[in-house]
Chains A and B, each alone.
Chain A
């Protein structure tokens, strides 16, 4: 403090460590009040400052009211207890981190419990302490702040307008339309740049959505075991299994389109109407083998796998949005938002007796798209 008083005021004695000609250091912000009083009579602190609200006034009991003193002492003890406990639970958190390892599911659960309870306790104790502090120790003050018009007053608006017009005048922006227009022209291609630059983020769709990897003679593998299947292996009527194409069982990109469900019917139950699109055959009884039919597993709504099958009604149900298809009748839509039947995969058997595709699907699988036609 004594340093500061020495250097106080431009006319005062110059401190030896200060280079001549440099201004003296100002008194410290938040320094002793004695220093502030030393200075020239201060301007009234608030009068010129419209932004600052008035002085807060206590609306509760006075702080020196005996009731408040007792109350305050008790609150102080509670707050201090909260904070002290928070210290210990915080330490326990660190101890739990060091002491309880992970590496098995049980250990992970114990670690989670230990870390979680100690961390939650620490946070809640700190919060509780702070809340009791503010509600029971700080005087209950209220403050009224005046609102001012958000709109600038006319003089300011006028002034702004003048400066703006002046600057615009200097810039010649209005006077020289050639510059103005060529500037706009020059920046135009830049606006398209971000879109152009994103072009290489992926290939064009081309016709890839129209085809899958199914091809004549490709074997059907059971999803999960990846084993080929014969009609005799799949002889229990009413069952449904998921199928992936041989050679692509680990390729998610291809499986997204090529996943298939295989359903076995009792004789006479299966009645697939012949469906055509234009001149292309897309559904027929001829594509079944031994009352076994294969449909695309990808829902024609937005592409979820159609995973639920109800034996008694032959309904295939998509669990995402409940599009329902009648598997016995060419997977026509019975309910829900899907607009088209599930495409049928033409089936046959190869020389070894395994189920194989006769060809690819004759129509695009999965959700509709603009170019589908």
Chain B
């Protein structure tokens, strides 16, 4: 029996006909079923975020059936006898009831919290994957921006979510949030009073956060995720360099049934893993924290990990407050609150456009870069990760001090230095590693790989035999873009007119950035005359063996025509 020789059951075919008569869906669905999904492990990272979001919606709906978003004060007389007779808000009481009096309540609450952490973690790792492979490049800049929007909203959604139970830990976090709001010039005090309905904590913040947490932000997230998926679907996936992969095609397996089955299995695995975590790993034990009181605090208070950078920024900042025309400007709150996340997220948002400006490359990119082949980008990414990582770790400086027995202030001072030195070191080291790996690639392509076979020459010398790399590997190694150098500063076109883009401070900055991007180790195809890739410009023999370093303008190293270089579209060819 052939695999396609069967009758579709009437229930399915009848429903199909009914729907198609009304929606004209057959054509679209046929396209959808044949949609190609390239296979690469790193393409599953975004899916983790997607499935976590689905699990958040499911578990969150369950929790909302039992949670009471109210700050009315009650006295607890429930199952958890350790808190018997304690004054608390109804929100905290209902969170205790979910935990101890609703069957499966503790499990679902912990799944929800773990899923939120996984959602944010998956977003971060997914974004790093997109960044380091250059998958944000034209035509995918909009989806990159949507991703940054998703992350920013996720931060807020998480903060409001874990603050809802009104426990001691999250209450302290909320107080910090309110204190930071107050620090905003001119409108800060008003913002805080309007958001909290008066002085902190008031009686309004839990119901307000609740509606923002369960309706407003999830609604926006859902819309953005839909847009994100639709755009990805419409523009088709990127793919990693490899045999048969070109800028003009997508290779992979069809959506139906392959990706559907794999995606479904992935959902079950993620859900299963979260349930395991929720069963065996305690998260946010609010019953141990107790209800919020503005008088109490516990040491080693830590927010969820995605808030770590804000917490660390507040901790690393030295005292700085100035009086500005009779007003207080609390810079030791304002700067850590806005600047580090602003640098990371704002920088990420601007990056695709900065790269286009610096490289003059406005062409489409459907083949991803291997991170080593874009040293300036990879090094910048590592610098940003170092910056983020130092501040994130500083957010736990009291825990580190306790566990490693290092004085607390010493750790803060190390962080104060490392937040500047770390990224610079990260940039330099990563760039050297990338160029070193490029050199290894070039050698492998030119001389073959080390086969491990040792041979003795007639004169007694031992050599290791190198063998040419196989076709697949060759395709990967040769898929290396040659970055284009913009005309140098002050260089003139054939009419003797200096390029307008190269003048002034901005032109100088562009030149610096351009040379950083263009720094590369050229690969030479082993004996194949047509082995030059990238934008199709022939590399001159002299430049091929040039060591690391940007060739001076005019050497013909991927040189764009002078003049309107910015507008030139280096079409993929060769």
Proximity string of chain A (116-145) to chain B, C-beta cutoff 8 Å, 1 when within and 0 when not: 110111111011101101100010011111
Q: Which residues of B contact A303 (CB under 8 A)?
A: 175-176, 178-179, 200
Query: Nearest Cβ distance between residue A350 and chain B, in whole angstroms?
Result: 23
Query: A52 vs B332: C-alpha distance in the bound complex, in angstroms?
Result: 58
Over the window 79-98 of chain B, the binary record of Cβ atoms lying under 8 Å from chain A Cβ atoms (1 yes, 0 no) is 11000000100000000000
Judge whether A130 and B261 touch: CB under 8 Å: yes
**Contact (Cβ within 8 A) A116 B189:** no
Which chain A residue shows the least CB distance to B296?
Answer: A305
* A residues less than 8 Å from B36 (CB atoms): 53, 143-145
A340 touches B31 (CB 8 A): no
Residues of A contacting B105 with CB < 8 Å?
102
Partner of A134, one of B190, B251, B258, B412: B258
Task: Specify which chain B residues have a CB less than 8 angstroms from the CB of A320 in the assembled complex.
Answer: 172, 176, 297, 301, 314
| Number of A-B residue pairs with CB-CB distance less than 8 Å in the complex they form | 328
Residue of B nearest to A201 (CB): B194
Interface residues in chain B, defined as those with a beta carbon under 8 Å from any beta carbon in chain A: 3, 7-8, 12-14, 16-17, 20-21, 26-27, 30-31, 34-36, 73, 79-80, 87, 99-107, 139, 172, 175-176, 178-180, 182-190, 192-202, 204, 235-236, 244, 247-254, 257-258, 261-262, 264-269, 271-273, 275-276, 278-280, 292-301, 311, 314-315, 317-321, 323, 326-330, 332-333, 336, 364, 366, 397-398, 408-409, 412
Instruction: Give 16 CB contacts A-B under 8 Å.
Output: A26-B17, A31-B8, A31-B17, A53-B35, A56-B253, A108-B100, A112-B106, A120-B272, A122-B272, A134-B261, A145-B250, A204-B190, A252-B201, A303-B200, A336-B412, A337-B319
Whether A123 contacts B296 by the Cβ 8 Å rule is no
B103 contacts which of A115, A257, A339 (Cβ < 8 Å)? A115
Chain B residues whose C-beta falls within 8 Å of the C-beta of A304 in the assembled complex = 172, 175-176, 179, 297
Asked if A205 contacts B31 (CB within 8 A), the reply is no
Cβ of A67 < 8 Å from any Cβ of B? Answer: no
B248 to A: closest C-beta gap in Å:
5
CB within 8 A of A143: which of B34, B106, B175? B34
Cβ contacts under 8 Å, A113 to chain B: 279
Measured CB to CB, the closest approach of chain B to A64, in angstroms, equals 10
Given contacts A130-B265, A130-B268, A198-B194, contact A368 B333 (CB under 8 A): yes
Q: Is A17 an interface residue (CB 8 A)?
A: no
Given A253-B201, A369-B328, A372-B328, are A29 and B31 also a contact pair (CB < 8 Å)? Answer: no
Chain A residue nearest to B412 (CB atoms) is A322
Beyond A123-B275, A253-B198, whether A373 also contacts B328 by CB under 8 A is yes
Which residue of B264, B295, B409 contacts A259 across the interface (Cβ within 8 Å)? B295
- Whether the pair A124, B272 counts as a contact (CB closer than 8 A) is yes
Give the residues in chain A near B262, CB-CB below 8 Å.
Answer: 130-131, 134
Q: Scan residues 24-53 of chain A and give those whose CB is less than 8 A from a CB of chain B.
A: 26, 28-32, 49, 51-53
Q: Quick check: B196 and A202 within 8 Å, CB to CB?
A: yes
State which of B100, B104, B273, B311 has its C-beta within 8 Å of the C-beta of A97.
B104
**B252 vs chain A, min Cβ distance (A):** 7
Contacts of B202 in A (CB 8 A): 202, 253
Residues of B within 8 A of A242 (CB): 295-296
Least CB separation from A255: chain B residue = B294
Question: Are B317 and A103 closer than 8 Å at their CB atoms?
Answer: no
Instruction: Give the distance in Å from the alpha carbon of A323 to the alpha carbon of B328 in the complex.
Output: 19
Kindly state the separation between the CA atoms of A166 and B304 in the bound complex, as whole angstroms: 56
Task: Say whether A371 faces chain B, with CB atoms less than 8 Å apart.
Answer: yes
- For residue B332, give the distance in angstroms from its CB to the closest CB of chain A: 4
CB nearest to B408 among chain A residues: A322
Query: Given contacts A112-B106, A147-B247, A319-B301, are A105 and B257 in contact (CB under 8 A)?
Result: no
Given A102-B101, A115-B104; A301-B332 close (CB under 8 Å): yes
Q: A307 contacts B321, CB within 8 Å?
A: no
A307 touches B297 (CB 8 A): yes
Pick from B21, B254, B261, B271: contact of A123, CB below 8 A. Answer: B271
CA distance A156 to B301 in the complex (A): 60
Q: Determine if A352 is an interface residue (Cβ-Cβ < 8 Å).
A: no
A247 interface residue per 8 A CB criterion? no
Chain B proximity of A178: nearest CB distance (Å) = 36
Beyond A30-B17, A145-B236, is A336–B188 a contact (Cβ under 8 Å)?
Answer: no
- Which residues of A lie under 8 Å from residue B73 when comparing CB positions? 250
A297 to B107 Cα, complex, angstroms: 37
Q: Interface residue tally of chain A, by bracket?
A: 35 or more
Q: In the bound complex, how far is the Cα of B295 from the Cα of A242, in angstroms?
A: 8
* Whole-angstrom CA separation of A319 from B402 in the bound complex: 13
Q: In the bound complex, do residue A322 and residue B398 qualify as a contact, i.e. CB atoms below 8 Å apart?
A: yes
Q: Is A150 an interface residue (CB 8 A)?
A: yes
A296-323, CB under 8 A of B: which get 1 and which 0? 0110011111111000000000011111
Quick check: is A335 within 8 A (CB to CB) of the other chain? yes
Q: In the complex, what residues of B have CB within 8 A of residue A152's CB?
A: none
Partner of B319, one of A123, A147, A201, A338: A338
Q: Which residues of A contact B196 (CB under 8 A)?
A: 202
The reply to whether B103 and A111 contact each other, CB–CB distance below 8 Å, is yes
Question: Which chain A residue shows the least CB distance to B172?
Answer: A304
Alpha-carbon distance between A32 and B261 when the two chains are bound, in angstroms: 26
Alpha-carbon separation in the docked complex, A133 to B398 (Å): 49
Cβ-neighbour of B275 out of A105, A116, A142, A256 (below 8 A): A116
Q: Which residues of A contact B102 (CB under 8 A)?
A: 102
Q: Is the CB of B16 within 8 A of A30?
A: yes
Q: What residues on B are CB-neighbors of A128 within 8 Å?
A: 265
A283 at the interface (CB under 8 A from B): no
Chain A residues with CB under 8 A of B186: 370
Within the complex, the shortest CB–CB distance from A210 to chain B, in Å, comes to 11
**Is the C-beta of A366 less than 8 angstroms from some C-beta in chain B?**
yes
Kindly state the separation between the CA atoms of A307 and B397 in the bound complex, as whole angstroms.
17
Q: Cβ of B107 and Cβ of A368 under 8 Å apart?
A: no
The 7 closest A-B pairs by CB, nearest first: A116-B279, A302-B179, A127-B268, A339-B321, A123-B272, A124-B272, A30-B13
Cα–Cα, bound, A301→B180 (Å): 9
| A325-358 interface bits toward B, Cβ cutoff 8 Å, 1 = contact, 0 = none | 0000000010111111000000000000000000
Distance between Cα atoms of A15 and B12 in the complex (Å): 24
CB distance from B112 to the nearest CB of A (A): 13
Q: What chain B residues lie within 8 Å of A198 (beta carbons)?
A: 194
Is A339's CB under 8 angstroms from B330's CB? yes
In the complex, A203 has a CB within 8 A of chain B:
yes
A130 touches B264 (CB 8 A): yes
Q: Nearest Cβ distance between residue A312 and chain B, in whole angstroms?
A: 15
- Asked if A322 contacts B265 (CB within 8 A), the reply is no
* Complex Cα spacing A130 to B270, Å: 14
Chain B, residue nearest A319 (CB):
B299
Residue of A nearest to B81 (CB): A105
Contact B298 A126 (CB under 8 A): no
In whole angstroms, how far apart are the Cα atoms of A338 and B330 in the complex? 9
B297 near A319: Cβ-Cβ < 8 Å = yes
**Residue A223 is within 8 A (CB to CB) of chain B in the complex:** yes
Taking CB atoms and an 8 Å cut-off, the chain A residues in 68-123 that contact chain B are 97, 100-105, 108, 111-113, 115-117, 119-123
User: Is the C-beta of A233 less than 8 angstroms from some C-beta in chain B?
Assistant: no
Measured in the bound complex, the distance between the Cα atoms of B328 and A373 in whole Å is: 5
- When C-beta atoms are compared, the residue in chain A nearest to B257 turns out to be A138
Once bound together, how far apart are the Cα atoms of A322 and B314, in whole Å?
10
Q: Which residue in chain B gives the minimum CB-CB distance to A32?
A: B7
